[in-house]
């Protein structure tokens, strides 16, 4: 009987402790809502130039966050976006990748993988945080694998959270086609 009460007490303490931690962790998980203005940013590109959301006004933007250059999942995701780049061009959409890596790391990653779209350096994770796309790994902040489709007016049109890199570009293309179809009927 004492053993069961002790186990119950430990479980109750664990549940209480997790509830106290949850509100702090939720700040890392809140993404901007569909229909809201996309948070603005100004970051350094793999080309060593500054780029901001305002530079792409009037275009569809696929803003994808990923953890780290040169890792298997991030490489696969980037290669698939590159593979489908002509389809995005036809849809008047630009691809922008964001991670905490340096602009120099992005430059090397683009050269190695043959990527011709922009990668943006977010070393302090402020833009990643503004998009609710931060995670911790071994005590270090990284960009979490989330994607946002931003419409030509600068509004969040679609949010993908915790995406799987393998089929993600196909998923984004399908969503983009549907959003553009809906957009054409409302104009």
Which DSSP state fits 148? E
Q: Do 92 and 20 have their domain in common?
A: no
Are the CB atoms for 147 and 64 separated by under 8 Å? yes
Q: Which residues are catalytic?
A: 74
On the question of pLDDT at 145 being above 90, the answer is yes
Question: Which helix H or strand E contains 136, and what residues bound it?
Answer: strand 134-137
Q: Do 164 and 119 have their domain in common?
A: yes
Q: Do 21 and 93 have their domain in common?
A: no
Are the CB atoms for 122 and 100 separated by under 8 Å? yes
Our count of domains for the chain comes to: 2
Instruction: Locate 139 and state its tokens.
Output: 């005590």
The pTM assigned to this predicted structure is: 0.83
Residues forming a β-bridge with 140: 137
In sequence order, what are the residues at sequence separation of 6 or more whose Cβ sits closer than 8 angstroms to the Cβ of residue 138?
none
For residues 25 and 99, which has the higher predicted lDDT (pLDDT)?
Answer: 99
CB atoms closer than 10 angstroms to residue 4: 8
Concatenating the DSSP letter of every residue in 46-103 gives TTS-EEEGGGGTTSEEEEEE-S-TTSHHHHHHHHHHHHTHHHHHHTTEEEEEEESS-H
DSSP SS3 for 128? helix
Q: Do 15 and 76 have their domain in common?
A: no
Are the CB atoms for 8 and 85 separated by under 8 Å? no
Counting every residue written for the chain, the total comes to: 187
Q: For the domain that residue 152 is a member of, what is the CATH number?
A: 3.40.30.10
The pLDDT-based confidence of 187 (bands split at 50, 70, 90) is low
pLDDT digits (tens, 9 = 90+) for 8-26: 333 333 333 333 333 333 3
Task: Report phi then psi at 146, rounded to 5.
Answer: -130, 155
Q: Do 8 and 35 have their domain in common?
A: no
Q: Do 101 and 144 have their domain in common?
A: yes
Q: Do 42 and 117 have their domain in common?
A: yes
pLDDT digits (tens, 9 = 90+) for 40-61: 999 999 999 999 999 999 999 9
């Amino acid at each position: 009987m004492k053993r069961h009460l002790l186990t119950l007490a430990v479980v109750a303490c664990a549940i209480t402790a997790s509830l106290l931690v949850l509100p702090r962790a939720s700040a890392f998980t809140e993404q901007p809502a569909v229909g809201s203005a996309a948070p603005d940013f100004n970051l350094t590109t793999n080309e060593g130039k500054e780029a901001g959301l305002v530079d792409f006004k009037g275009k569809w933007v696929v803003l994808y966050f990923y953890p780290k250059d040169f890792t298997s999942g991030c490489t696969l995701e980037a290669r698939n976006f590159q593979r489908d780049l002509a389809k995005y061009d036809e849809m008047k959409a630009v691809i922008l990748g964001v991670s905490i890596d340096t602009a120099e790391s992005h430059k090397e990653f683009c050269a190695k993988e043959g990527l011709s779209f922009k990668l943006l350096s977010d070393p302090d994770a402020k833009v990643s945080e503004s998009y609710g796309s931060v995670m911790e790994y071994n005590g270090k902040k990284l960009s979490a694998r989330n994607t946002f489709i931003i419409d030509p007016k600068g509004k969040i049109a679609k949010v993908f959270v915790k995406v799987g890199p393998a089929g993600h570009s196909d998923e984004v293309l399908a969503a983009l086609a549907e959003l553009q179809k809906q957009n054409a009927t409302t104009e």
